Every structure is written in structure tokens, then in C-alpha cells.
Homo-oligomer: A and B are copies of this chain.
Amino acid sequence: MELVISRKILLSGMQTVQRAVAARTTLPILSNILMEARDGILKLFATDLEIRIECEVPAEVKENGIITVPAKLLQELVNNFSSEEMYLKTDEEKQILSISCGEGNYRLNTLTAEEYPSLPEVKKGINLKFSSSLLKDMIKSTIFAAAPSTESRVVLTGVFFEVKEDKLTLVATNAHRLVVKIGEIKKVKEGISKILPTKALQEVSRLIQDEEEVDILISEKQVKFTLKNSLIYSRCIEGQFPPYQQVIPSSIPKITWKVKSADILSSTKRVSSIAKEDTNVVRLRTIDNKLSIEALTQDVGFGQETVNIEKKGEDIEIAFNAEYLLDFLQKAESEILVFELNAPETATVIKPQDEENYFYVIMPIKPV
């Protein structure tokens, strides 16, 4: 491999793939980035065996070739060089990559590309095309609600991704709260539903730039996102997503509150300063058109805030995990939020006013 490349271009390519470089790994080659130079193009690859990101950047390729190099070290160097033109050449026998930039000369130890693990290609599958701004928005609106990667029920660590007729639906839950976002798409002939890892979706959302559309190829076990400057591969999560429809209250709610987002967000945040010192529980209590948000802990004391609401139905007292409540209050980009409640022990729905395609279902905490 021998090539001349712009430092800025190489840096942007490395930044594209670096999140797929394995952070902690028992397989040293996964800390490397795979570089393949061919006919005016340098391809960069990184994988942590869960997802893979690929990216192509233009280069003046003098000799085709393929090699793997320590990702973090190379990125640090490329980031710190002060000249703009870089020269790269491999010595395949000695397994060395020589780099020259400005007055600097580096020889990095490499590992051969043959040892680099490959994810199987996504060949056949259903091909979809979505508006990238829609997809990015839908991902951001939902991934926060999935269970953390430490969760034993693996299906909850992903986002349920369903395409049906003219609707794309994303659902995420950690079994205590659930978020649903529905987007309108061009009608598809064949629907599909899969559970996709949050890491892959996070990278798709991060790497969407100014392209208009994102191509998605979904096979039985894998998914491929084609962006303007990158490809993201990921395994699908196997298993059955919980029947989330059953959790969503279907009858007309007995009680509704309309509340200013900014008011309830800032009040809940302050009260949660108290709540988090203990079991992280906040109690919500209404008296006419006042909502009182309260936390009481043994150790640090008591906090209480009052927020004006527009209420229909009876007064109620209900308790939530403060963190789960805040998660949605921070995401919902709407001036007014609507709370739909039935009883202190049943699920509450929160949604932006005048929005039917985005809502949050949160289970209350039983009073002790």
C-alpha cells in the first residue's frame, strides 16, 4: 500500500469509524483500524464484533494494499500533525506502516488484514429508504428509553423497529417505562419488524449529515445502513420484543393534566436533587389546578415544588421514579405536555400536546 492523502480527509474518515473500534477487547486486532487502498479510494473499517462502520475517502493511491493499524495512536497522530499532506506506505514483509507528514516520520507496527475478523455481509433482505431527518429524529426520541447493556433481558437493550404500510414505528422500554414514536413514510409493500441494538442506531444518528435519505437493508439477522459517507452494519437482536401494545392504556383517561414543559422539568429536576439521595422517588399530588411535586428522604430532608396545571378529572396522588420521569421531560420538545392518568397504580401516559405520534408510558411506583 502506498498513498498520499489529505490529513483533514483522513481524520474525518477515522472519526467516522472510530466509535466501532473496540474499547476493551481481548482480541488486540479489534483495537486496530483496517485500511484498504484501491484505485483512488482509501476504505476504513472498524468493528467491535457487534457493529461495523465503513467509510471511503479519496486518496492518491500509488499502490493498492490492505493493512490494520492501532486506531487510537493513528488518530492521535493525524489529529496533531501540522502539515496537510500525508504520505503512507506499508512494508508488508516487516509489517510496518510508514507515515510522513511535514517534518515527521513514523513507523507503526501493524497486524495483517487476514487476521481481521469480518462480519458476514448482508446480502438478501428487505430494502427500505427513509428521510434521514425523520430517522435521526425518531432515533433520538426513543433510544434513551431502552434498558442499559447490562440488562439480562437482551431484547430490552434494543429498539423495536417496525415498518408497516405507511408507518415506521420505533419503540423502546426498560420494563418500567416505554416510549413510542411513529413516523410517516412512503407506503411499503412488505413490512418488517426487528430489534436493533441502540449502539448501531446511535451511530446512524451521529453519522447522518446532510444526505436526504438513508438506505436500509434488513435481513433475517442483520441490518445495513447506507449513509452518504459511511456504511453501518449491525446484528439484529434475536428474540421476541414484549407485547408493548398491552401496556398502553386504551380507554379514555379519567384524569388529564396540561402543564408547561419548562415548569415541570425544572421543578422535577430540583426535587430530584433530594430524591436521588434516597430511592429516587418523587410524588405528584394535585389540589385543583396545582400540582405538587415532592420528595422525602431520611438522610437529607424534604423538597416540594408547585406547578400550575390545567386539570380534568379528580385529584390524585401518584409516585414515579424521578429519573424515568425526567428522561422524557428532557426529550419532549413541546411547550405543553399532557399527562393522562387513571389510578395511582396504573400506567400514566405523557405526550406533547397536539402530538399523536410520540408518547411515553411510565409505570408508577407503589406507595410504601
Number of copies of this chain that the complex holds = 2
Q: How many angstroms between the C-alpha atoms of A70 and B300 in the bound complex?
A: 8
Q: Which one, B82, B269, B299, contacts A266 given CB within 8 A?
A: B82
CA distance A109 to B105 in the complex (A): 62
Chain B residues closer than 8 Å to A81, beta-carbon distance: 270
Considering the complex, which residues of chain A in the window 67-87 have a beta carbon less than 8 Å from any beta carbon of chain B? 70, 73, 76-77, 80-82
* CB closest residue in chain B, given A271: B104
Is A289 among interface residues, defined by CB-CB distance under 8 A? no
Contact B76 A273 (CB under 8 A): yes
Please indicate the chain B residues that have their CB under 8 angstroms from the CB of A307 in the complex. 103
Q: How many residues of A contact B (CB 8 A)?
A: 32
Residues 270-295 of chain A, each 1 if its beta carbon lies under 8 Å from chain B, else 0:
11011001000000000000000000
A348 to chain B, nearest CB (A): 22
* Distance of A96 Cα from B296 Cα, bound (Å): 13
Contact A277 B73 (CB under 8 A): yes
Given known contacts A300-B109, A301-B96, A301-B108, A306 and B80 CB-to-CB distance under 8 angstroms: no
User: Among the listed B104, B108, B266, B269, which residue makes an inter-chain contact with A270, where contact means beta carbons less than 8 Å apart?
Assistant: B104
Contact with B along A109-142 (1 / 0, CB 8 A): 1000000000000000000000000000000000
**Taking CB as reference atom, which chain B residue is nearest A81?**
B270
Is A261 positioned at the interface, with any CB of B under 8 Å from its CB?
no
